[in-house]
């Protein structure tokens, strides 16, 4: 009640004040006519009407096609790798072999990713590289040295993978790398250790439901990836933004600068795991068999790595690694059957 | 001329009317004397006004150097230092894994606070410099974006998501591509203005010098003329005026000469040395960021290591490119000697990091880069930065002392020159009136 009465009093008291104000304005208008009729624009200091939005380092709009696809590619079975022989004992690699050279060096040099959650990422809490791909590296190191830790990781971008192998900077590349015939022409691949497929990642409320609806939309993919080439081949052309690392795509999506990210479902699952506000849409529209990249001349190493993969699958460590990193995010899967040629 | 010499003394108290009458004709001697009087007084007033104003301007310029120009350049340098350090610290915090150490977090927060305050100060003291305004605008628009990205990176890191690293890369890219270049350009602009103000303070005052010279010639000419006309050797009034002008010229010359010397000292051993040291510090800070980012990228990434090499070549070695050597040659101080030793230690520590990282011992390399071990790069760099800070402070003190000394020399000069002009004008009037009286 008190509050009500006070409210009324205030209102009553307020009316004359307002009237007086109106009168004062009218009087001012009468005296200084120009102030009311001729309008003067207010002065705006420090007017800012647009902003430079932050963008990941190295982001490129409409990236040029990578040269590898321009050359004619002989038809092949990208899944077929060299048949493994019997594995030598750890620390006793045959004289003159590539593995012997690595053993003498004392460490395996592996080209990996540190930005792709679940496959190859730097765990910020432990400061260690972890993931499904990193586990494959440890298996190879263990088979070479009997000590999984004798590894030097070199972080490379998608676009650097083939050059790093050709220059011999790294012994192996384990970095969600799809075995394709174009790449087979330049490097060797191990047997396939996982098969992914390209899909589309969008914000939860996005109307985009599949890759067909990406036409005219801004879509992110990593430079030098097969995903980027596939997006170019879509009938409804998206506007492409290419970045160095897949996690840069998540940043762009979270910052509202792209409508979608499209790549292997495995990589996208890692993004969903980092942000519950995004979702995977549409079916897989490609098949991406992952192989371990090895320099073209090191065929003995290919056979050795294939032996390690076969052993890992047989011993159940492939499944243990899959269960640890991927099963909860992607679902059940069994090791892909190995295809060999001689 | 050619008129008979009249030497009768005019009745006292008749001066104004005599002047007026004499002024009617410039062909008569009294008429000529009136013209001489008018010219001399006009010259005296002009010389007095111009020299007093010039002296006042010099005094203001000297005060402005110490209180405005140099502090602004120092503030701009502070913006660069704080932001660059913040970026390197953010990268170090990331390398240390998990939750960043409290010391690094506090250092980052202090860096951002210092940068924010220095940007605010720069904005408040822009004057009407559109170029500097552009840089300050870039800084004040982008700094909040940068801190937002770092905060997002931290939030992701704490949840164990590698998106944190992506946000940190984006933040660092923004810092290196937009913010730091603006800070560096702001500093360069401020330093150029400082140098221009110093040149201004040292410059020779042509206008008052020419006027004073003209006045002296006119005074001497007038006295020679009067001596010829009156056969009297000395006109006391004009002699006093001449003496006053001479005192003014000698005083002003001595002050200007000594002040210019002090300003030059303040420049050579002060602000110019500070500028060289600031560039050394900018390079050191950039190099430290490169060092940590190489480890964050875990591979050479976009050529951080090559850039590190180029930057550190400006801090070590015997070449002419060594900025610390240049600074020492300008004026050797203890902090500069210390900084030279620190730079060598840092280079050695960096080489250890590279050896460890290149031989596959990444964890040890990270420890060598950011650990608190006395041999770590973090320690060596910290010492280098603090030596450079002391060296810059010493050079700034040198500048401020010398330039304030120059300012102190000019104390009383504007007023004094004004007073001397009044004395000279009075002397001229008395001297001429005395002669005019003789024509009554």
> Tens digit of pLDDT for each residue in A138-148?
999 999 999 99
Question: Of B160, B178, B298, which is closest to A124 when you measure between CB atoms?
Answer: B160
By Cβ distance, the residue of A55, A58, A123 closest to B160 is A123
Q: Could you tell me which of B421, B409, B372, B438 has the C-alpha nearest to residue B40?
A: B421
The reply to whether A340 falls in a domain is no
A178 domain residue, yes or no? yes
Q: What angle do CA B272, B278, B283 make, to 5 degrees?
A: 135
Cα separation of B375 and B356, whole Å? 14
Let me know whether A274 and A204 are in one domain: yes
Inter-chain contacts counted by CB atoms under 8 A, chains A and B: 103
Shortest CA distance from B302: residue in chain A: A58
* Per-residue model confidence as pLDDT tens digits over A233-275: 999 899 999 998 899 999 999 999 999 999 999 999 999 999 9
In terms of CA atoms, which chain B residue is nearest residue A250?
B163
Note whether B360 contacts A109, CB cutoff 8 Å: yes
- Has residue B200 got a pLDDT over 50? yes
Interval A324-340 mean pLDDT: 91
C-alpha to C-alpha distances, A174 to A131, B387, B428, nearest whole angstrom: 11, 45, 99
Residue A5 counted as domain residue: no
- What integer is the mean pLDDT of B62-80? 91
In a domain, A339, yes or no: no
Q: Which residues pair with A109 in a beta bridge?
A: A152
Provide the token pair at B289: 């960021």
Task: Tell which of B96, B128, B149, B162 to mutate to test the A interface (max A CBs under 10 Å).
Answer: B162
Q: Which residues pair with B47 in a beta bridge?
A: none
**Tokens in use for B436?**
């005019």
In 10 A of CB B150, how many CB atoms?
A: 26
pLDDT of residue B372: 87
Q: Which residues of A91-114 are buried (b: 16+ CB within 10 A; e: fewer)?
A: eebeeebbbbebbeeebbbbbbbb
Q: Give the 3-state secondary structure of residue B85.
A: helix
Interface of A with B in 152-211 (CB under 8 A): 152-156
**Distance from the Cα of residue A272 to its chain's centroid:** 11
- pLDDT at site B193: 92
Contact B297 A274 (CB under 8 A): no
| A174 and A272 assigned to the same domain | no
Q: Is there a contact between A142 and A148 (Cβ–Cβ < 8 Å)?
A: yes
Chain B residues lying within 8 Å of A329, measured CB to CB: none
Instruction: Identify the closest residue of chain B to A245 by CA–CA distance.
Output: B166
Confirm or reject contact between A248 and chain B (CB < 8 A).
yes
Q: Which of B214, B213, B211, B238 is nearest to B224 (CA)?
A: B238
What is the residue range of A92's domain? 86-195+290-330
Instruction: Tell whether B145 is within 8 A of chain A (Cβ).
Output: yes
B130 touches chain A (CB under 8 A): no
Regarding whether A203 and A151 lie in a shared domain, the answer is: no
Which tokens is A227 given?
Answer: 């995903």
Q: Is the predicted pLDDT of residue B15 greater than 80, yes or no?
A: no
- Which DSSP symbol is given to A130? E
Q: Are residues A116 and A222 both part of a single domain?
A: no
Task: Check pLDDT > 70 for residue A199.
Answer: yes
The answer on A188 and A303 residing in a single domain is: yes
Within 13 Å, how many C-alpha atoms sit on residue A299's CB side? 6
CB contact under 8 A, A126 and B98: yes
3-state helix, strand, coil split of chain A in percent (to 5) is: 40, 20, 40
pLDDT at A4: 38
Burial class (CB in 10 A: 0-12, 13-18, 19+), A291: buried
Residues A244 and A274 in one domain: yes
Taking an 8 Å cut-off on Cβ atoms, the answer to whether A122 and B165 are in contact is: yes
* Helix extents (H) in B302-333: 304-312, 323-330
Within-domain flag for A307? yes
Pairwise CB contact (< 8 Å): A153 & B142? no
CA B128 to CA B134: how far, in whole Å? 11
Angstrom CA distances, B281 to A170, A334, B284, B406, stand at: 36, 57, 5, 29
A113 touching chain B per CB within 8 A = no
B24 touches chain A (CB under 8 A): no
Q: What percent of chain A has pLDDT over 70?
A: 87
Q: Which of A166-180, B28-42, B76-90, B258-272 has the lowest mean pLDDT?
A: B28-42
* From A56, A106, A117, residue closest to B169, measured CB to CB: A56
Min Cα separation B94/chain A (Å): 8
Confidence of residue B21 (pLDDT cuts 50, 70, 90): low
- Is the residue at A9 inside a domain? no
Contact A247 B298 (CB under 8 A): no
* Shared domain check, A122 and A250: no
A95, A127: one domain: yes
Contacts 24+ apart (CB under 8 A), B316-325: B316/B340, B316/B343, B316/B344, B316/B347, B323/B276, B323/B277, B323/B279, B323/B280, B323/B283, B324/B277, B324/B280
User: Which of B91, B100, B163 should we substitute to test contact with A (largest number of A Cβ atoms within 10 Å)?
Assistant: B163
**Cβ atoms of residues A229 and A286 within 8 Å:** no
Task: State the Cα–Cα distance between residues B347 and B24, nearest whole angstrom.
Answer: 88
Q: Is B97 on the interface with A (CB under 8 A)?
A: yes
**What is the count of structural domains for chain A?**
2
Residues 281-300 of A with CB under 8 A from B: none
Contact call for A48 and B360, based on CB within 8 A: no
Q: Return the exposure string of B109-145: e unless at least 16 CB atoms fall within 10 Å of the residue's CB, then b.
A: eebbebbbebbebbeebeeeeeebbebbbbbbbbbeb
Contact B164 A125 (CB under 8 A): no
State how far Cα A278 lies from the chain centre.
Answer: 14
Arithmetic mean of pLDDT over chain B? 88
**Domain-by-domain residue ranges, chain B?**
15-437
Which chain B residues are within 8 Å of A51, Cβ to Cβ? 141
Q: What is the CATH number of the domain that holds A238?
A: 3.40.190.10
What tokens does A246 get? 């897949």
Taking only residues 340 to 359 of chain B, the set having a beta carbon closer than 8 angstroms to any beta carbon of chain A reads 359
* pLDDT at residue B107 is higher than 60: yes
> What pLDDT sits at residue A96?
93
Of B97, B297, B360, which is closest to A126 when you measure between CB atoms?
Answer: B97
- What percent of chain B clears pLDDT 70, i.e. is strictly above it? 93
User: Which residues of chain B neighbour A117 with C-beta distances below 8 Å?
Assistant: 161-163
- How buried is residue B271: exposed, middle or buried, by Cβ count under 10 Å (0-12/13-18/19+)? buried
Picking from A49, A124, A158 by the largest number of B CB atoms within 10 A of its own CB, the best residue to mutate is A124
Q: Would the CB atoms of A114 and B162 count as touching at under 8 Å?
A: yes
């Amino acid at each position: 009640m008190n509050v009500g009465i006070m409210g009324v009093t205030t209102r009553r008291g307020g009316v004359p004040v307002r009237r007086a104000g109106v009168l004062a304005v009218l009087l001012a208008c009468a005296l200084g006519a120009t102030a009311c009729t001729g309008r003067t624009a207010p002065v705006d200091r420090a007017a800012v009407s647009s902003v430079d939005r932050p963008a990941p380092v190295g982001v490129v709009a409409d990236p040029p096609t990578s040269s590898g696809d321009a050359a004619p590619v002989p038809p092949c079975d990208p899944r077929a790798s060299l048949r493994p022989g019997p594995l030598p004992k750890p620390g006793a690699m045959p004289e003159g072999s590539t593995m012997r050279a690595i053993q003498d060096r004392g460490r395996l040099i592996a080209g990996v990713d540190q930005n792709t959650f679940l496959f190859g990422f730097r765990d910020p809490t432990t400061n260690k590289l972890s993931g499904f791909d990193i586990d494959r590296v440890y298996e190879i190191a263990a088979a070479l040295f009997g000590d999984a830790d004798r590894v030097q990781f070199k972080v490379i971008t998608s676009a650097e993978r083939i050059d790093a192998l050709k220059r011999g900077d790294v012994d192996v590349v384990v970095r969600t790398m799809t075995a394709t015939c174009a790449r087979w022409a330049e490097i060797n691949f191990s047997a396939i250790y996982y098969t992914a497929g390209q899909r589309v990642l969008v914000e939860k409320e996005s109307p985009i439901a599949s890759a067909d609806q990406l036409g005219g939309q801004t879509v992110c993919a990593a430079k030098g990836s097969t995903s980027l080439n596939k997006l170019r081949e879509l009938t409804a052309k998206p506007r492409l933004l290419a970045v160095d690392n897949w996690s840069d795509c998540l940043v762009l999506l979270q910052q509202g600068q792209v409508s979608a990210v499209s790549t292997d479902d495995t990589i996208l699952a890692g993004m969903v795991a980092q942000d519950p506000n995004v979702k995977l849409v549409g079916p897989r529209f490609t098949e991406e068999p992952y192989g371990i990249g090895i320099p073209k001349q090191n065929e003995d190493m290919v056979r050795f790595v294939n032996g390690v993969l076969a052993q890992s699958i047989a011993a159940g460590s492939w499944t243990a690694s899959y269960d640890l990193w991927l099963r909860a995010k992607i679902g059940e899967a069994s090791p892909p059957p190995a295809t060999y040629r001689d | 001329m050619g008129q008979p010499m009249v030497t009768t003394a005019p009745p006292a108290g008749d001066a104004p009317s005599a002047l007026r009458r004499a002024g009617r004709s410039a062909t008569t001697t009294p008429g000529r004397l009136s013209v001489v009087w008018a010219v001399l007084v006009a010259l005296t007033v002009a010389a007095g006004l111009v020299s007093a104003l010039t002296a006042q301007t010099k005094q203001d310029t000297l005060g402005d150097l110490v209180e405005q120009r140099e502090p602004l350049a120092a503030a701009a340098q502070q913006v660069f230092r704080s932001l660059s350090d913040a970026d390197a610290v953010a990268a170090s915090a990331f390398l240390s894994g998990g939750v960043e150490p409290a010391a690094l977090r506090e250092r980052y927060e202090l860096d951002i606070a210092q940068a924010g305050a220095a940007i605010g100060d720069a904005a408040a003291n822009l004057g009407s410099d559109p170029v500097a305004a552009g840089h300050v605008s870039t800084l004040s628009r982008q700094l909040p974006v940068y801190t937002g990205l770092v905060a997002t990176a931290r939030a992701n890191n704490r949840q164990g998501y590698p998106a944190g690293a992506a946000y940190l890369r984006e933040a660092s890219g923004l810092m290196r591509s937009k913010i730091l270049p603006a800070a560096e350009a702001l500093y360069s602009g401020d330093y150029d203005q400082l140098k221009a103000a110093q040149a201004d303070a040292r410059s020779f005052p042509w206008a008052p010098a020419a006027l004073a010279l003209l006045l002296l010639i006119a005074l001497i000419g007038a006295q020679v003329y009067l001596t010829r006309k009156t056969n009297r050797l000395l006109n006391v009034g004009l002699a006093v005026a001449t003496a006053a002008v001479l005192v003014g010229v000698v005083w002003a010359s001595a002050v200007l000469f000594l002040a210019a010397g002090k300003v030059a000292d303040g420049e050579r051993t002060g602000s110019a040395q500070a500028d060289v040291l600031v560039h050394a510090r900018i390079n050191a800070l950039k190099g430290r960021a490169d060092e940590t980012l190489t480890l964050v990228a875990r591979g050479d990434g976009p050529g951080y290591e090559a850039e590190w090499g180029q930057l550190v070549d400006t801090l070590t070695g015997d070449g002419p490119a060594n900025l610390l050597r240049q600074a020492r040659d300008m004026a050797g101080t203890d902090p500069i000697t210390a900084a030279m030793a620190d730079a060598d230690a840092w280079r050695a520590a960096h080489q250890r990091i590279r050896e460890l990282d290149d031989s596959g011992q990444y964890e040890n390399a990270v420890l060598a880069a950011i650990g608190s071990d006395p041999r770590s790069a973090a320690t060596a760099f910290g010492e280098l930065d603090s030596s450079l800070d002391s060296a810059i402070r010493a050079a700034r003190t040198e500048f401020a002392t010398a330039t304030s000394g120059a300012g102190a020399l000019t104390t009383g000069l504007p007023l004094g020159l004004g007073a001397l002009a009044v004395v000279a004008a009075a002397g001229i009037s008395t001297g001429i009136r005395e002669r005019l009286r003789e024509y009554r």
